[in-house]
Structure 1
C-alpha cells in the first residue's frame, strides 16, 4: 500500500545532526509516510548513522552516492523519483521540525483543491539548536491561520521578488507535479535552484501558507548561499530565475520589472571582484535589459513610497 507522504532526507556531511533530524521525522504525529535516506558521498560519520535506521519500518530506501554530485537539487530529484507518496517533504538533514508538521500540512492541503505547495512558518536556529531569529517569514504577527493563493498570483506578488520559500524543510509539495520538472533548469543550478523549483511548482497549482512556526532552519557560518553571494555566482542564477519568470505567461508590470532590475544591479555592485562585477552587469543587460537607470528608480522608490501610499514596493506587493 502506498504511503500518503514520502519524506526525503538528503544529506552531505551533517552526521552531527542526522540522529536528531531523523527522530523529528519518525516522531511525527502523522505516521502514514515512507522515509527515503540519501547521502551525497559524505566524508564524516553520516553513513554509519544512516545504516542504523535501514531496518526501520518507515525507511524504504538508503542510497549512498559513490561521488558527490555538487548539487543539492539533483538529490531532491533523486528522492522525488524514488518516492511513492502523493506528497513529498524534503526534510533537510540539518534542520528540525515540530511533531505536528505533517499533520498540520495535510489538514491544510486536504481543505483546498489543486494545491501544489504547502509551506509553514520558520525560525532560524544556530548550530546548537538555539533560536537566533523568530518570525523570519514576512507574515510578522499575522500568524496562526491558513491562507491560500492561486499559484500565478503567488508568483506575481511574492516569488517574483525573491525566493520567499526560504527552506525546503518547511514545505510539503505534490509529487505528480514535481515529476514534471525532471528536465528543468533548476537541476543545473547550485545556488538558486530552489527559487526556480518553487516557481515552476507554483505554476502548476495553488500555494497554501500555514502560518505557524513548525520548521527550524539551521544557519551556518559557511554556507553555499553566502559564498554564492560574495562571489557573484548566485546573482547570475538569480538573474536566470527572474528572466524565466518574465518570459513565462505570468504578467509582470514594467515598473515592477525596473525595481527588480534595480535590486539585482545593487547586488552586483557589492561583488568584490571588478572583472566578475562587470561580467554580471553585462549578463544582467543581456538577459533583462537592466542598467544604472533601474538603480535610480529603486533609489527614488524608497523615498516616494512615503508620499504615495499606492506606489508599488516589494513589501506592499508581497502583502497582497
Structure 2
C-alpha cells in the first residue's frame, strides 16, 4: 500500500534561534514519506545560513528565500501550497517543535476516516526557552462533522490554536477560498473554517506539539489596534450568512465579542475602542443583554469543568 506523501511547509521569519530544532524535528519523523518546503520571508538574522545548511537533505524539495518581506504569514502559506506535491499538508511553524511520531499519529487517524479534511493534536504551551507554560494531559480522539466542529469550536475563537499541530487534505484545500490571505491576524481561523467545511475534523487530544509563546505576539498588537476585532467581525458575518449563527448561538457569540472588546486594557487610544464598539454593537439586538448572557455562559462552563 502506498504511503501518502505529506508536504511539510516551514515558513520562517527571524526565528534562527529555533530553526534547527524545528527542521530537525521534521526531518527525524518516524513517518518518512514527506517532502519539505522551507520559505524564508527576508529574515534579518542568520536564518538563511541555517536553512541553506539543509539544502542537500533528500527530503528538502524547495527552498524559497524572499528578497523582500511579503508582510503576510498567510501569503507565505499560499506560496507553499502552490509548490506542494503531497496528498496532505503540514504547516510546521519555524518557532515550534513536536514529538518525532507526530506525523505518524496524524496520518494514521486521517487514513482511518477518509471523509476527514483536518486532523490535529493538542499542543503543550512552552516559553521562549522551551519550559512548560501549560502541559496538556488529555487523552482520546474526537471525530466531528465539519459543520458541527465550526459551530462548537470556531464561533467564539479558534480551536486549532497552532497550525503546527495539524495536517489537512490537499484535495480539501483546493476547494477553499483564498481571501484569508488578506488578513493580518485572523486569517488562520478563517482558513480552518473553510477547510472544516470540506469534511470531518479529527482531534487527537493527546498533545504531541509544542506551541512556543513569546513575550510579544502579533495577535496582541492586532487587539491594541482594533484590527483583530475588525477581522473577527468579517468572520462573524461569514458564519452568520452561512447559517452557523442563529438563535441563542448568535446572541451568545455577539455577547462574547462585546465582552472581549471591554476587556482589552491597552488599546492604542480610547478612540480605537469606541470605533470597534460602534462596529460591533449594531450587529445584533440587545448588545448589553448579549454580553451578560455570555458572562453567565462562561461561569456555567467553568463550573461544569470543575465537576
2:247 to 244, 249, 254: 254
> 1:149 corresponds to which residue?
144
Tell whether the 8 Å contact from 1:243 to 1:288 is kept in structure 2 after alignment.
no
> Residues 98 and 18 of structure 1: is their aligned pair in 2 closer, same or farther, counting only changes over 3 Å?
same
> 2:85 corresponds to which residue?
84
> Residues 59 and 260 of structure 1: is their aligned pair in 2 closer, same or farther, counting only changes over 3 Å?
same
User: What per-residue deviation string (whole Å, max 9, x for no partner) do you get for residues 140-177 of structure 1?
Assistant: x541x222111011011111221011000000101122
Matched, 1:177 2:172: yes
Tell whether the 8 Å contact from 1:90 to 1:171 is kept in structure 2 after alignment.
yes
> 2:256 corresponds to which residue?
263
What number of residue pairs does the alignment pair up?
A: 301
Q: Partner of 2:237: helix, strand, or coil?
A: helix
CA distance in 1 between partners of 2:155 and 2:127 (Å): 29
> Residues 62 and 19 of structure 1: is their aligned pair in 2 closer, same or farther, counting only changes over 3 Å?
same
Matched, 1:37 2:32: no
Tell whether the 8 Å contact from 1:192 to 1:237 is kept in structure 2 after alignment.
yes
Matched, 1:229 2:230: no
> Residues 193 and 289 of structure 1: is their aligned pair in 2 closer, same or farther, counting only changes over 3 Å?
farther
Alignment of 1:95-244 (within 5 A): 95-135=96-136, 142-143=138-139, 145-181=140-176, 183-244=177-238
Tell whether the 8 Å contact from 2:121 to 2:166 is kept in structure 1 after alignment.
yes
CA distance in 1 between partners of 2:189 and 2:240 (Å): 14
CA distance in 1 between partners of 2:168 and 2:199 (Å): 10
Root-mean-square deviation (CA, aligned residues, Å) is 2.1
Tell whether the 8 Å contact from 2:143 to 2:202 is kept in structure 1 after alignment.
yes
Tell whether the 8 Å contact from 2:138 to 2:207 is kept in structure 1 after alignment.
no
Q: Which moved more, 1:6-15 or 1:274-283?
A: 274-283
Tell whether the 8 Å contact from 1:235 to 1:267 is kept in structure 2 after alignment.
no
> 1:308 corresponds to which residue?
none
> 1:53 corresponds to which residue?
54
Tell whether the 8 Å contact from 2:138 to 2:206 is kept in structure 1 after alignment.
no
Tell whether the 8 Å contact from 1:9 to 1:91 is kept in structure 2 after alignment.
yes
User: What per-residue deviation string (whole Å, max 9, x for no partner) do you get for residues 75-132 of structure 1?
Assistant: 1111111100000000000001100001000110111121100000111111111111
Tell whether the 8 Å contact from 2:21 to 2:97 is kept in structure 1 after alignment.
yes
CA distance in 1 between partners of 2:247 and 2:231 (Å): 21
Q: Partner of 2:44: helix, strand, or coil?
A: coil
Tell whether the 8 Å contact from 1:80 to 1:179 is kept in structure 2 after alignment.
no
CA distance in 2 between partners of 1:31 and 1:290 (Å): 55
CA distance in 2 between partners of 1:301 and 1:2 (Å): 45
> Residues 302 and 40 of structure 1: is their aligned pair in 2 closer, same or farther, counting only changes over 3 Å?
closer
User: What per-residue deviation string (whole Å, max 9, x for no partner) do you get for residues 254-279 of structure 1?
Assistant: 21211111111122223432211121
CA distance in 1 between partners of 2:303 and 2:239 (Å): 19
Query: In the TM superposition, what is the alpha-carbon distance from 1:291 to its structure 2 partner?
Result: 2.6
User: What per-residue deviation string (whole Å, max 9, x for no partner) do you get for residues 244-298 of structure 1?
Assistant: 1111143x33212111111111222234322111211222135556732321322
Matched, 1:293 2:289: yes
CA distance in 2 between partners of 1:109 and 1:315 (Å): 34
> Residues 315 and 242 of structure 1: is their aligned pair in 2 closer, same or farther, counting only changes over 3 Å?
farther
**Structure 2, unaligned stretches of length 5 or more?**
none
Q: Partner of 2:202: helix, strand, or coil?
A: strand
